[in-house]
C-alpha cells in the first residue's frame, strides 16, 4: 500500500534556490574500482553530531542519522533548479533530499522504512509542500507515481543499501558488531526476517545465498553449519549467528569472518538485487527527456547490475554476426554522462570513511 503522508500540492515557482550547484566537478579525473568492498561495518564512524532544525519548531535538534555521499556530484547531476521534480527513492535521513529542496526542487522522498520517513519528515518539515514523503519500496515507483497523479519527473535518485542509522541500531539486526534480533528487514512491517530465513530455508538455499550474494568462499560449509546449529536451537540473534559463522569461517583478516554472510543475508531478506533491477526497468518510463537517473551503489554486485543496465540502455544500435548490418537497439533509453563510475574524492573518504566504496552511475534520458 502506498502511504503519501501529505497531499502533493502545486509547485511554488516563487521560491529561490539557496544552494550553489558546483558545476565544475571534474568527474573524468575520478578513478574506477571494481573491488567488492563489504567491510563497511568495521569502518570508523563518520562524523557524528546533530542536525540543526531551522523549521522544527520546539522539537529540538535531531540526532545523527546518515551522512549523504557524493552530495556535490548528485547536485551536479540533477541541477535542481526551482520547480524541478525529483523522486528520491531512498530518502533515508533526507540528506540528499534536503540539498535538492534547498536548491529549489520539489522532491518525492520515498523509503520503505517508517523510521527513516519519521526522521526525514521532521528534518524537512520547513519545506512544507515542496517535499512529499512516501512509504513504499522504490521497486514500486510506477505505482507511487500513478497514485500521486505524476507522469514523469526530472530526476530519479537511488542511493542503494542501508543507512548508518539502520546499520548502527542493534534492534534492526543488520550488524554483527551489535547484538540484537536477527531481523535485517528495511521494512519491519513486511516480509520474512533474517531469523526466519536462517531457521527455515533449506541448506541448498542458504548455500546459494551465501555464494551468490556474499561471494563467500566457504558457502557450502557455512550453510551446513547453520543447519547443524539450528537443529540444536533456533538462531535468533546477530551474536548467535556470528558465532555459528565464526565456528566455520576462519578469521582471515581484520574483517569479521561473518561480514560476507551478513551482507548476503541482508540482500536476500530485502531482495535488494531483484528490486534494483525492477526499478531500473521502470525508471525510464517515468523520466522526462533530459531527466537523469542517478544510482549510488556500495558493492560490486549492485554496481555490476547498474553498469550492465546502463551499458545496454545507452547503445543506439546493436549488432550480431549473422546480421548484414547493425540494427536500432529497442532498449536505447539513455545517454551516459561518463562510462566510468563517479567515486568520492579523497577528502570525502577521509571525512566519511563509509563513502569509500560508493559508486555513482548516471543515465540521461533521451
Ligand X SMILES: C[S@@+](CC[C@H](N)C(=O)[O-])C[C@H]1O[C@@H](n2cnc3c(N)ncnc32)[C@H](O)[C@@H]1O
Q: Which helix (H) or strand (E) holds 87?
A: strand 85-88
Shortest gap between Cβ of 97 and ligand X (angstroms)? Answer: 7
Chain residue whose CB lies nearest ligand X: 92
Residue of 108, 184, 186, 284 interacting with ligand X (CB under 6 A): 186
Shortest gap between Cβ of 143 and ligand X (angstroms)? Answer: 12
| Dist. CA 231–CA 261, nearest whole Å | 19
Q: Is 283 in the site for ligand X (CB under 6 A)?
A: no
Shortest gap between Cβ of 324 and ligand X (angstroms)? Answer: 43
Q: Is 155 in the site for ligand X (CB under 6 A)?
A: no
Q: Which of residues 328-347 bind ligand X (CB under 6 A)?
A: none
Contact 294, 156 (CB under 8 A): yes
Size of the site for ligand X (CB under 6 A): 23
Q: Which stretch binds ligand X (CB under 6 A): 52-60, 160-168, 223-231, 236-244?
A: 160-168
Residues 6 or more apart whose Cβ sits within 8 Å of residue 117 = 5, 91, 109, 111, 133, 134, 135
Interface map 32-71 toward ligand X (x if CB under 6 A): ----------------------------------x-x---
Shortest gap between Cβ of 159 and ligand X (angstroms)? Answer: 4
Residue of 104, 109, 139, 173 interacting with ligand X (CB under 6 A): 139
Report, in angstroms and rounded to the nearest whole number, the Rg of the chain calculated over CA atoms: 21
Shortest gap between Cβ of 193 and ligand X (angstroms)? Answer: 15
Residue of 76, 84, 96, 106 interacting with ligand X (CB under 6 A): 96
Judging by DSSP bridges, how do beta strands 327-328 and 317-318 pair with one another? antiparallel
Contact 95, 71 (CB under 8 A): yes
Give the nearer residue to ligand X in terms of CB position, either 115 or 203: 115
Q: Which stretch binds ligand X (CB under 6 A): 109-117, 147-155, 224-232, 281-289?
A: 109-117
Shortest gap between Cβ of 78 and ligand X (angstroms)? Answer: 13
Residue with cell 531469523: 195
End-to-end alpha carbon distance in the chain:
32
Contact 90, 138 (CB under 8 A): yes
Residue of 30, 76, 77, 92 interacting with ligand X (CB under 6 A): 92
Shortest gap between Cβ of 230 and ligand X (angstroms)? Answer: 28
Give the nearer residue to ligand X in terms of CB position, either 206 or 276: 276
Q: What 3-state class would DSSP assign to 114? A: helix
Cross-strand bridge partners of residue 225: none
Q: DSSP state, 58?
A: G
Q: Is 113 in the site for ligand X (CB under 6 A)?
A: yes
Contact 62, 56 (CB under 8 A): yes
Q: Is 111 in the site for ligand X (CB under 6 A)?
A: yes
Contact 110, 120 (CB under 8 A): no
The torsion angles phi and psi of 295, rounded to 5 degrees, stand at -125, 125
Residue of 87, 127, 138, 262 interacting with ligand X (CB under 6 A): 138
Burial label for 340, CB within 10 Å (0-12, 13-18, 19+), is middle
| Dist. CA 258–CA 299, nearest whole Å | 16
Give the DSSP per-residue string, 8-37: PPPP-TT----S---TT--GGGSPP-----
| Dist. CA 286–CA 78, nearest whole Å | 15
Q: Is 275 in the site for ligand X (CB under 6 A)?
A: yes
Q: Is 112 in the site for ligand X (CB under 6 A)?
A: yes
Interface map 208-247 toward ligand X (x if CB under 6 A): ----------------------------------------
Q: Which stretch binds ligand X (CB under 6 A): 35-43, 137-145, 221-229, 345-353?
A: 137-145
Shortest gap between Cβ of 22 and ligand X (angstroms)? Answer: 17
| Dist. CA 1–CA 283, nearest whole Å | 20
Sites of contact with ligand X (CB under 6 A): 66, 68, 89-90, 92-96, 110-113, 116, 137-139, 159, 161-163, 186, 275
Amino acid at each position: 500500500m502506498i502511504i503519501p503522508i501529505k497531499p502533493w500540492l502545486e509547485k511554488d515557482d516563487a521560491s529561490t534556490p539557496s544552494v550553489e550547484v558546483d558545476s565544475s566537478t571534474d568527474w573524468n579525473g575520478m578513478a574506477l574500482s571494481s573491488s567488492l568492498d563489504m567491510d563497511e561495518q568495521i569502518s570508523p564512524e563518520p562524523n557524528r553530531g546533530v542536525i540543526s532544525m531551522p523549521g522544527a519548531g520546539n522539537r529540538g535538534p535531531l540526532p545523527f542519522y546518515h551522512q549523504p555521499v557524493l552530495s556535490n556530484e548528485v547536485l551536479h547531476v540533477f541541477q535542481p533548479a526551482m520547480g524541478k521534480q525529483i523522486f528520491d527513492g531512498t530518502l533515508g535521513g533526507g540528506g540528499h533530499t534536503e540539498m535538492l529542496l534547498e536548491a529549489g526542487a520539489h522532491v518525492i522522498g520515498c523509503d520503505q522504512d517508517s523510521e527513516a520517513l519519521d526522521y526525514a519528515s521532521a528534518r524537512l518539515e520547513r519545506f512544507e509542500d515542496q517535499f512529499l514523503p512516501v512509504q513504499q519500496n522504490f521497486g514500486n515507483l510506477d505505482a507511487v507515481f500513478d497514485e500521486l497523479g505524476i507522469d514523469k519527473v526530472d530526476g530519479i535518485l537511488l542511493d542503494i543499501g542501508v543507512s548508518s542509522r539502520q546499520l548502527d541500531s542493534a534492534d534492526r539486526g543488520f550488524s554483527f558488531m551489535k547484538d540484537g534480533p536477527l531481523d535485517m528487514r528495511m521494512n519491519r512491517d513486511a516480509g520474512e526476517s533474517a531469523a526466519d530465513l536462517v531457521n527455515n530455508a533449506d541448506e541448498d538455499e542458504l548455500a546459494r545465498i551465501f555464494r551468490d550474494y556474499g561471494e563467500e568462499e566457504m558457502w557450502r560449509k557455512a550453510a551446513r553449519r547453520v543447519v547443524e546449529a539450528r537443529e540444536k536451537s533456533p538462531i535468533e540473534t546477530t551474536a548467535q549467528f556470528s558465532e555459528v559463522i565464526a565456528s566455520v569461517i576462519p578469521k582471515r583478516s581484520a574483517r569479521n569472518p561473518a561480514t560476507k554472510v551478513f551482507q548476503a543475508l541482508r540482500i536476500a531478506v530485502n531482495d535488494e538485487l531483484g528490486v534494483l533491477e525492477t526499478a531500473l526497468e521502470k525508471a525510464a518510463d517515468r523520466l522526462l527527456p533530459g531527466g537523469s537517473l542517478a544510482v549510488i551503489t556500495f558493492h560490486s554486485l549492485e554496481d555490476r547490475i547498474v553498469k550492465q543496465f546502463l551499458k545496454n540502455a545507452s547503445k543506439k544500435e546493436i549488432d550480431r554476426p549473422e546480421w548484414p548490418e547493425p540494427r536500432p537497439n529497442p532498449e536505447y533509453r539513455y545517454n551516459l554522462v561518463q562510462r566510468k563510475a563517479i567515486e568520492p574524492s579523497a577528502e570525502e573518504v577521509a571525512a566519511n570513511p563509509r563513502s569509500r566504496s560508493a559508486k555513482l552511475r548516471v543515465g540521461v534520458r533521451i
